[in-house]
Amino acid sequence: MMTREDNELLCRVEGDAPMGQIMRRHWMPACLIEEVPDIKAYWRDDLVAFLLGCSFSFEEALLEDGIPLRHIACGSNVPMYRTNIDTVPAGRFRGPVVVSMRPLKPADAIRAVQITSRFPAVHGAPIHIGKPELIGIRDIMQPDYGDAVAVEADELPVFWACGVTPQSVIAAVKPAFCITHAPGYMLVTDLKNNSHMAIL
């Protein structure tokens, strides 16, 4: 159960509040018009804030199990792609799901499914393995966000739902006003990654 203080910390977005630092991108309408260090000038009482899990949260468990992650080894951001998979609509909000990809050997891909299935609060198991063209990705070396990483001949591209999906939805819906995080810049809390793990 979240304390009132924790709730305040996560929900305040004005000034130098942590969420204000995270939600620093200003969109209008569905076109990035400005990136600001503080959103106080844009915040209104009729706006709401929400947090999404991030696939970075389960990477620690993959690494602890000996599963190599190329984007980490290369010092780059994970590649992310808009897909032809539709989100479940929430009112007028709908659009294509964004996925993050990690190339893995088949045995590591199986183990990754087992490990990440225990993290349903931070994206859980992959939503697609192999053949990127089946989910609308034309060129695996041309991510929509993040950095490209090679998929070797003995590897499979493994795709997880991604917390960048809201930016994709914003581009599809074109709201009059929206503030988002920047891909790769996450909210950091004192919660340990294993606190998100479901007991199976």
> Mind giving me the DSSP string for 87-142?
PPPBTTB--EEEEEEEEE-HHHHHHHHHHHTT-GGGT-S-SEES-GGGGT-S-TTS
pLDDT band at 191 (very low <50, low <70, confident <90, very high): low
Q: How far apart are CA 93 and CA 91, in angstroms?
A: 5
Q: Which residue has the higher pLDDT, 46 or 153?
A: 153
pLDDT at 23: 56
Sign of CA dihedral 35, 40, 41, 45: positive
pTM: 0.75
Q: How far apart are CA 197 and CA 63, in angstroms?
A: 15
> CA-CA-CA-CA torsion for 55, 57, 61, 62, nearest 10 degrees?
30
Q: How far apart are CA 61 and CA 119, in angstroms?
A: 10
Phi-psi region of 104 (alpha: psi -120 to 50; beta: other; left: phi over 0): beta
Q: Is 10 a residue whose pLDDT tops 90? A: no
Distance of CA 135 to CAs 22, 44, 79, 162, Å?
Answer: 30, 38, 15, 14
pLDDT at 87: 93
CA angle (85, 88, 90) in 5-degree steps: 140
Which H or E run includes 83? strand 80-86
Which H or E run includes 66? none
Q: Kindly state the tokens that stand for 149.
A: 């990483």
Of 138-142, 159-163, 181-185, the least confident: 181-185
pLDDT band at 28 (very low <50, low <70, confident <90, very high): very low
Percent of the chain with pLDDT over 90: 42
Q: Which residue has the higher pLDDT, 32 or 137?
A: 137
